[in-house]
A and B are shown apart, each in its own frame.
Chain A
């Protein structure tokens, strides 16, 4: 068997939809045995994303992407016999992961205080919206509400105009990445001391942590940053510019004087570049709208990839703003395996996200497709937990394993 960094760890993943499953994905990509706990009583809504042209719980590609490399079991935890199975599984696992609300967690009897009695070496992470305690801890939210509550959304919009806010599950992904680091840190501690622990991760605190300088600005100068568009406090030009074609854009960012001279040369040194109002960084910042208009007049006649080629040759940072299909066909991503094609029994070929980072010695890979509902019930309940086939059959019939 190939050597993966986390081969010796077992993770019980109670999470669903987006943030928790993505954290589990990182651990699974690195070789951990991640067992996703589901139930037919209430399906993970990521199996049933509305508006897809596919049908049924086994055909959602998004689900396939974020749950690849995991094993799947179905069990009704609200039944005491299901809870016993889960307790036994926790006993032989290293990590538990959930994104229930704090009340939801206790209702299911999965709170850390209880699980740590079963397995004191357990590392457990919860990723609720606002954490396990505090006045917002029982809040009911969707992803965009979290961007709103942590200040992140207040920065998004065209400069000085109305707030557009973050509309996507941006903080879910950000939380998954931070959470994976926290889990691995806690495991590192456990390797040295034998002690498990609990990680309380509030998604809105993660959101605040990735806009650190906005808070520093407020605490140092009392200044409240708002919508900033594509503007940078130090660079100009710094924007996305229109290109040839429908809704095509290229990003250009210029920091140093040398980069500015190179940009001027690449544009063929039109007379305006020598005007006083663009003579240095300070002036370019002050006349940014006019500057953006003039740079746009140059980019609009070229394709976004042409602009990248011309400017990168000149040593200026430029890259196209890519959409879905363009990313899939981009030669850089193709060479790096940024997107993967894997077989899934229900859909044939899936196109899914690649491994998010590359380790030279022990690269992760997609070893198995996302689990079908209950696909690994036999492995977990019979092989790991030692239940007999007849007992399993009974639990299936009585909708405990369900």
Chain B
């Protein structure tokens, strides 16, 4: 097999659902060897989450699991048993990285806290992705993606002013912290190459929101008493910065520069209301006349389809874009030309399309070498082939519910 960017890196994932699995997926797709540990019998929670192929709930047919676990080896191991802990430690002796997303207290109770793991392998990097992090008063609090987006501040930015604020969709907090975990883990690997020491990488989901996403504007609250503004389908800045309906869906209209807005109005045949002096200053339009303006702009575009409008925008270099549905993106010629969606063949599902690479590396392309593992698919390979257990041992471990 061709050398990939992360070939040779050995990673163990003791994770669940989205954050840790997305972190190790990014690494596995660039060539790292990832051994994923799942609970015997039930497996990763994402196997029970769906969406399921043909709406048939089945642990080997969950789209979420299939997407997040490409290129990994899968073993089952009950880490809550003494034998399970012993086996995990055996695996970690020879690993570069452990990625996990368990509650900090649980890791300590299992004797798997960083201080203990460091004794086994001082070069080991342990990346922990948790809702609130390894320190601080909330470290043992429970948190799902919804909660960490709330604490992190992302939620207060979306929604209508008088209604509940909206958290970002589909476990966004987990995806963000998983990707951050991958970047942080690579940093730790570079640190190790100079001093030979592993370390503990602490990713707090809430903090990823509160720092790199939203920490840059906190001074506005502190010094100017500002609050996040939820303004529904638009942003109150300059007009237009909004999403409005057209014939077959929605258009995203945004023009920071005045000439972009002017070009659009010209393309629409320069409506009479443009002469109204109230509409000359686009900041006051955003502040005072946005509803009125929305209605008039909507009237201009409601008879046209997204594609018709987009064609005009592209022709005239106008910065507006159609709000593509998931179906439209899945069939979009641009994504096709770039080969973004890839076909994956796997037992239980046959060939399906998956979202592919978020980046293209010229020398070491992103690759799908192996679909997500079946539950316990690589038990024999890892336990017998790597750790030296006999097939009889394997039977005993299985009977004991350990694998």
Task: Tell whether A pairs with B.
Answer: yes
Q: Is A145 a contact of B324 with CB atoms below 8 Å? A: no
Q: Is A253 an interface residue, CB under 8 A from the partner?
A: yes
CA distance A226 to B256 in the complex (A): 28
Q: Is A195 a contact of B363 with CB atoms below 8 Å? A: yes
Q: Is A346 an interface residue, CB under 8 A from the partner?
A: no
User: Total number of A-B contacts with CB less than 8 angstroms?
Assistant: 503
CA distance A145 to B245 in the complex (A): 15
Given A215-B330, A359-B200: 16 more A-B contacts, CB < 8 Å: A3-B194, A131-B338, A151-B326, A163-B250, A189-B4, A216-B66, A219-B63, A220-B61, A220-B63, A229-B166, A242-B164, A338-B210, A350-B219, A354-B207, A358-B201, A359-B187
Q: Is B76 an interface residue, CB under 8 A from the partner?
A: no
CA distance A30 to B212 in the complex (A): 14
CA distance A268 to B358 in the complex (A): 48
Closest 7 CB pairs of A and B: A353-B215, A324-B221, A216-B63, A361-B199, A184-B186, A145-B321, A251-B150
* In the complex, residue of chain A having the shortest beta-carbon distance to the beta carbon of B114: A360
Using a CB-CB cutoff of 8 Å, which residues 137-170 of chain A contact chain B?
A: 137, 139-142, 144-158, 162-168, 170
Q: Is B254 a contact of A145 with CB atoms below 8 Å? A: yes
* In the complex, residue of chain A having the shortest beta-carbon distance to the beta carbon of B227: A323
Using a CB-CB cutoff of 8 Å, which residues 321-351 of chain B contact chain A?
A: 321-330, 333-335, 337-338, 340-341, 349
- Select which of B135, B141, B153, B324 is within 8 A of A323 by beta carbon: B153
Nearest Cβ on chain A to B201's Cβ, whole angstroms:
6
Q: Is A257 an interface residue, CB under 8 A from the partner?
A: no
Which chain A residues lie closer than 8 Å to B222 at the CB level? 324-325, 328, 351
Looking at the complex, which of B45-53, B271-279, B392-400 is the stretch in contact with chain A? B45-53
Q: Is B334 a contact of A223 with CB atoms below 8 Å? A: no
Q: Is A108 an interface residue, CB under 8 A from the partner?
A: no
Q: If A184-B183, A360-B202 touch, does A317 touch B147 (CB 8 Å cutoff)? A: yes
Q: Is A215 a contact of B341 with CB atoms below 8 Å? A: yes
Which chain A residues lie closer than 8 Å to B378 at the CB level? none
Looking at the complex, which of A197-205, A380-388, A392-400 is the stretch in contact with chain B? A197-205
Q: Is B212 a contact of A177 with CB atoms below 8 Å? A: yes
Interface size class of A (residues with CB under 8 A): 35 or more
Using a Cβ–Cβ cut-off of 8 Å, how many residues does chain B contribute to the interface with A? Answer: 155
* In the complex, residue of chain B having the shortest beta-carbon distance to the beta carbon of A240: B164
Q: Is A220 a contact of B51 with CB atoms below 8 Å? A: yes
Q: Is B165 a contact of A321 with CB atoms below 8 Å? A: yes
Q: Is A3 a contact of B195 with CB atoms below 8 Å? A: yes
Mask of A215-248 contacts with B, CB within 8 angstroms, 1/0: 1111111011110111011110011111000010
Q: Is A271 an interface residue, CB under 8 A from the partner?
A: no
Mask of A27-67 contacts with B, CB within 8 angstroms, 1/0: 00010000000000000000000111100000001100110
Which chain B residues lie closer than 8 Å to A379 at the CB level? none
- Select which of B8, B135, B170, B231 is within 8 A of A336 by beta carbon: B135
CA distance A351 to B224 in the complex (A): 12
Q: Is A310 an interface residue, CB under 8 A from the partner?
A: no
Q: If A218-B326, A321-B155 touch, does A352 touch B67 (CB 8 Å cutoff)? A: no
Main secondary structure of the interface of B (DSSP, over half): mixed
- Select which of A150, A168, A200 is within 8 A of B360 by beta carbon: A200
Which chain B residues lie closer than 8 Å to A401 at the CB level? none
* In the complex, residue of chain B having the shortest beta-carbon distance to the beta carbon of A202: B338
CA distance A38 to B242 in the complex (A): 31
Which chain A residues lie closer than 8 Å to B197 at the CB level? 361
Looking at the complex, which of A76-84, A206-214, A272-280 is the stretch in contact with chain B? A206-214
Q: Is B355 a contact of A208 with CB atoms below 8 Å? A: yes
Q: Is B335 a contact of A208 with CB atoms below 8 Å? A: yes
Q: Is A6 an interface residue, CB under 8 A from the partner?
A: yes
Nearest Cβ on chain A to B355's Cβ, whole angstroms:
5
Q: Is A134 a contact of B334 with CB atoms below 8 Å? A: yes
Nearest Cβ on chain B to A346's Cβ, whole angstroms:
14
Mask of A335-372 contacts with B, CB within 8 angstroms, 1/0: 11011000000000011111111111110000000000
CA distance A233 to B143 in the complex (A): 17
* In the complex, residue of chain B having the shortest beta-carbon distance to the beta carbon of A215: B355
* In the complex, residue of chain A having the shortest beta-carbon distance to the beta carbon of B224: A53
Q: Is A353 a contact of B187 with CB atoms below 8 Å? A: no
Mask of B197-229 contacts with A, CB within 8 angstroms, 1/0: 111111110111011111111111111111110
Q: Is B330 a contact of A173 with CB atoms below 8 Å? A: no
Q: Is B212 a contact of A26 with CB atoms below 8 Å? A: yes
Looking at the complex, which of B34-42, B86-94, B104-112, B312-320 is the stretch in contact with chain A? B312-320
* In the complex, residue of chain B having the shortest beta-carbon distance to the beta carbon of A210: B175
Q: Is B158 an interface residue, CB under 8 A from the partner?
A: yes
Nearest Cβ on chain B to A332's Cβ, whole angstroms:
4
Q: Is A85 an interface residue, CB under 8 A from the partner?
A: no
Q: Is B293 an interface residue, CB under 8 A from the partner?
A: no
Q: Is B361 a contact of A186 with CB atoms below 8 Å? A: yes
- Select which of A198, A215, A308 is within 8 A of B354 by beta carbon: A215
Q: If A167-B235, A249-B155, A359-B191 touch, does A174 touch B176 (CB 8 Å cutoff)? A: yes
Q: Is B363 a contact of A338 with CB atoms below 8 Å? A: no
Q: Is A136 an interface residue, CB under 8 A from the partner?
A: yes
Q: Is B325 a contact of A226 with CB atoms below 8 Å? A: yes
Nearest Cβ on chain A to B297's Cβ, whole angstroms:
15
Q: Is B132 an interface residue, CB under 8 A from the partner?
A: yes
Q: Is B319 a contact of A165 with CB atoms below 8 Å? A: no
Q: Is B402 an interface residue, CB under 8 A from the partner?
A: no
Which chain B residues lie closer than 8 Å to A139 at the CB level? 314, 321
Q: Is A114 an interface residue, CB under 8 A from the partner?
A: no
Which chain A residues lie closer than 8 Å to B85 at the CB level? none
* Most chain A CB atoms below 10 A, which of B143, B184, B341: B184
Q: Is A134 a contact of B338 with CB atoms below 8 Å? A: yes
Nearest Cβ on chain B to A222's Cβ, whole angstroms:
8
Which chain A residues lie closer than 8 Å to B189 at the CB level? 184, 188
Q: Is A323 a contact of B221 with CB atoms below 8 Å? A: yes
Nearest Cβ on chain A to B113's Cβ, whole angstroms:
12
Nearest Cβ on chain B to A246's Cβ, whole angstroms:
10
CA distance A284 to B34 in the complex (A): 38
